[in-house]
């Protein structure tokens, strides 16, 4: 068929947004795409229509067992990470299997790993076929935040387009199919490094879109109105001495002339949000921070949000420890975020970020949230992919490794009075991608090649 007579690409009203319930990362990446999510009626069990591949109505028992095996191993080993000797050995084995090879020297990395071959062996025995058969009744585009789902679709002859959304700043060979050069899977890369990595793995460059990570629309607003208002207020708290704002007044006036914070009407004291990962590891750091900042919280100078997510055990732990420190009656200066479902958690967490000045967490997929103008204090990494996220945060200039949490009451305020954290917030706003959700919608629904323009920053 000649280009002149080429059939125009179909326009869609929605897509199948598919994720997995395994930690938070894959579901957090999918959540901002809820507005375009469509779900077959017989599979509908979520308010936002996002399909969970390892827990949908009617999933075959054999498929559920395969998923549960991988999930339980991941969460158990992650929680055992801090155990002396045996915990580190077990985690080291799991991390090695998922390792990301050094990028340089550039070389052909297309050969499938044992992890990929094992997955394909199970797929060829029928894993995932039920899901794809259901979706093939009305083959809309698939957008998945987990590579195995993309493999399902390709191997089980899905009739629609297949898109895979990468969730870290660098990725392992596990994200790419057995025969990458022949694959029709298209990838959404959060940065240029992931694009370059996918090319080394054998993916056709025309099947890669550098979109950035999808951030929640409710934290962006039309023309970034919500983001700018939040950041304007945040800079007041992150730069108490005014050093940064005085030095960069012209830049700030350019971006925030219509978004000044009504600080004396609805402002807030310095607010830190500490978030644990899906396995609940590192929960103790939150209590160490709480203890160190006790006096500041007593005086109403600091608010601390402890994010338990959907883990009731972490919520109970925080609740008990807060009571031990006699801080449970402090009028909201200590807040524990807990939700019974992931959807509820993401909604509450995104609301919390609107008044968060500092996000303290390990460098997970939340690293991309510096694009909202929120600086990150990095807890220790868990896993090699988080080492790459940590390096990216350093390069952007929006994340710093924590000092000893026991002395937060000292070093944190040195950072604040230097203007360092205000600068980090602005670096994230200026240089980290933030419009991924809109780029993805343009590509999937409207067939546009919508990408980040300033790739040299990424």
Q: How many angstroms separate the CA atoms of 92 and 271, rounded?
A: 35
Determine the average pLDDT of the residues in 241-261. 87
CATH label of the domain that carries residue 399: 3.40.50.2000
pLDDT band at 1 (very low <50, low <70, confident <90, very high): very low
Q: Return the percentage of the chain with pLDDT > 70, whole number.
A: 88
Do 41 and 179 fall within a single domain? yes
pLDDT at 384 exceeding the cut of 90: no
Instruction: Evaluate whether residue 146 is within a structural domain.
Output: yes
Torsion on CA atoms 432, 436, 437, 439, rounded to nearest 10: 140
Q: Which domain holds residue 123?
A: 16-215+436-457
The chain-wide mean pLDDT, for the chain, equals 91
Pick the closest to residue 48 from 351, 399, 258, 344 (CA basis): 344
pLDDT at 2 exceeding the cut of 70: no
Instruction: Evaluate whether residue 9 is within a structural domain.
Output: no
Instruction: Evaluate whether residue 4 is within a structural domain.
Output: no
pLDDT 10s digits, 418-435: 999 999 999 999 999 999
User: In this structure, is the dihedral angle defined by the CA atoms of residues 150, 155, 61 and 279, taken in order, positive or negative?
Assistant: negative
Do 119 and 184 fall within a single domain? yes
Torsion on CA atoms 140, 436, 308, 299, rounded to nearest 10: -150
pLDDT at 7 exceeding the cut of 80: no
Do 147 and 32 fall within a single domain? yes
The per-residue pLDDT for 143 is 99
Do 91 and 227 fall within a single domain? no
The per-residue pLDDT for 82 is 59
pLDDT band at 259 (very low <50, low <70, confident <90, very high): low
Q: How many angstroms separate the CA atoms of 89 and 91, rounded?
A: 6
Do 153 and 260 fall within a single domain? no
Q: How many angstroms separate the CA atoms of 358 and 273, rounded?
A: 6
- Token pair in block for residue 59: 């999933």
Q: Return the percentage of the chain with pLDDT > 90, whole number.
A: 80
pTM of the model: 0.92
The per-residue pLDDT for 132 is 99
Do 196 and 266 fall within a single domain? no
Q: What total number of domains does the chain contain?
A: 2
Determine the average pLDDT of the residues in 4-13. 75
Do 424 and 304 fall within a single domain? yes
Burial 85-120 (b: 16+ CB within 10 A, else e): eeeeebbeebbeebbbeeeeeeeebbebbeebeebb
Q: How many angstroms separate the CA atoms of 415 and 419, rounded?
A: 7
Do 293 and 423 fall within a single domain? yes
Q: Helix crossing, 408-418 with 283-292: angle to 10°?
A: 80
The per-residue pLDDT for 332 is 77
Q: How many angstroms separate the CA atoms of 383 and 298, rounded?
A: 36
Do 156 and 113 fall within a single domain? yes
Instruction: Evaluate whether residue 5 is within a structural domain.
Output: no
Q: How many residues does the chain have?
A: 458
pLDDT at 78 exceeding the cut of 60: no
Do 83 and 183 fall within a single domain? yes
Q: How many angstroms separate the CA atoms of 295 and 351, rounded?
A: 26
Determine the average pLDDT of the residues in 327-343. 86
pLDDT at 263 exceeding the cut of 90: no
Q: How many angstroms separate the CA atoms of 300 and 307, rounded?
A: 20
pLDDT 10s digits, 277-303: 877 779 999 999 999 999 999 999 999
- Residue 317's DSSP bridge partners are none
Task: Strand 302-309: give its sheet, edge to edge.
Answer: 334-338, 302-309, 270-275, 358-361, 376-378, 399-401
Do 383 and 369 fall within a single domain? yes
Do 385 and 297 fall within a single domain? yes
**Regarding predicted confidence, which is higher, 457 or 288?**
288
Residue 254 and residue 430 in contact, taking contact as beta carbons nearer than 8 Å: no
Instruction: Evaluate whether residue 11 is within a structural domain.
Output: no
pLDDT at 166 exceeding the cut of 70: yes
Lowest mean pLDDT segment, chosen from 120-134, 307-321, 444-458 = 444-458
Instruction: Evaluate whether residue 423 is within a structural domain.
Output: yes
Q: How many angstroms separate the CA atoms of 379 and 443, rounded?
A: 35
DSSP notation for 323-338: HHTT-TTSTTSEEEEE
The per-residue pLDDT for 441 is 98
Instruction: Evaluate whether residue 7 is within a structural domain.
Output: no
Instruction: Evaluate whether residue 85 is within a structural domain.
Output: yes
CATH label of the domain that carries residue 120: 3.40.50
């Amino acid at each position: 068929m000649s280009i002149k007579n080429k059939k125009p690409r179909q326009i869609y009203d929605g897509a199948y947004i598919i994720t997995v319930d395994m930690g938070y990362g894959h579901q957090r990446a999918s959540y901002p795409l809820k507005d375009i999510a469509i779900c077959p009626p017989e599979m509908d069990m979520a308010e936002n229509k996002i399909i969970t591949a390892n827990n949908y109505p009617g999933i075959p028992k054999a498929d559920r067992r395969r998923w549960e095996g991988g999930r339980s191993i991941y969460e158990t080993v992650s929680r055992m990470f801090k155990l002396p000797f045996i915990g580190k050995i077990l985690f080291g084995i799991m991390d090695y299997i998922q390792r990301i090879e050094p990028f340089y020297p550039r070389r052909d990395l297309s050969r499938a790993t044992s992890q990929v071959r094992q997955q394909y062996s199970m797929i060829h025995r029928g894993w995932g076929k039920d899901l794809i058969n259901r979706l093939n009744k009305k083959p809309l585009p698939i957008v998945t935040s987990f590579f195995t789902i993309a493999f399902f679709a390709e191997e089980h002859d899905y009739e629609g387009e297949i898109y895979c959304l990468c969730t870290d700043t660098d990725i392992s060979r596990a994200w790419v199919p057995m025969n990458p050069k022949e694959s029709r899977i298209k990838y959404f890369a959060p940065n240029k490094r992931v694009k370059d990595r996918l090319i080394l793995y054998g993916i056709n460059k025309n099947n890669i879109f550098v979109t950035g990570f999808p951030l929640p629309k409710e934290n962006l607003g039309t023309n970034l109105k919500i983001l700018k208002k939040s950041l304007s207020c945040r800079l007041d708290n992150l730069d108490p001495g005014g050093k940064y704002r005085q030095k960069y007044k012209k830049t700030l006036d350019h971006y925030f002339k219509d978004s000044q914070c009504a600080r004396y009407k609805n402002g807030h004291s310095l607010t830190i949000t500490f978030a644990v990962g899906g396995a609940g590891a590192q929960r103790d750091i939150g209590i160490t921070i709480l203890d160190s900042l006790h006096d500041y919280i007593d005086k109403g100078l600091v608010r601390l949000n402890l994010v338990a997510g959907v883990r009731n055990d972490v919520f109970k732990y925080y609740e008990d420890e807060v009571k031990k420190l006699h801080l449970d009656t402090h009028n909201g200066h200590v807040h524990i975020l807990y939700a019974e479902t992931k959807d509820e958690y993401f909604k509450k967490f995104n609301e919390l970020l609107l008044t968060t000045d500092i996000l303290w967490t390990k460098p997970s997929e939340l690293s991309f949230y510096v694009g909202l103008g929120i600086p990150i204090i990095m807890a220790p990494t868990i896993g090699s992919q988080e080492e790459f996220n940590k390096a990216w945060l350093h390069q952007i200039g929006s994340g710093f490794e924590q000092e000893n949490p026991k002395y937060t009451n000292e070093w944190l305020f040195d950072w604040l009075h230097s203007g360092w954290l205000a600068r980090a917030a602005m670096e994230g706003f200026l240089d980290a991608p933030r419009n991924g959700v809109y780029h993805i919608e343009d590509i999937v629904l409207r067939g546009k090649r919508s990408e980040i323009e300033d790739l040299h920053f990424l």
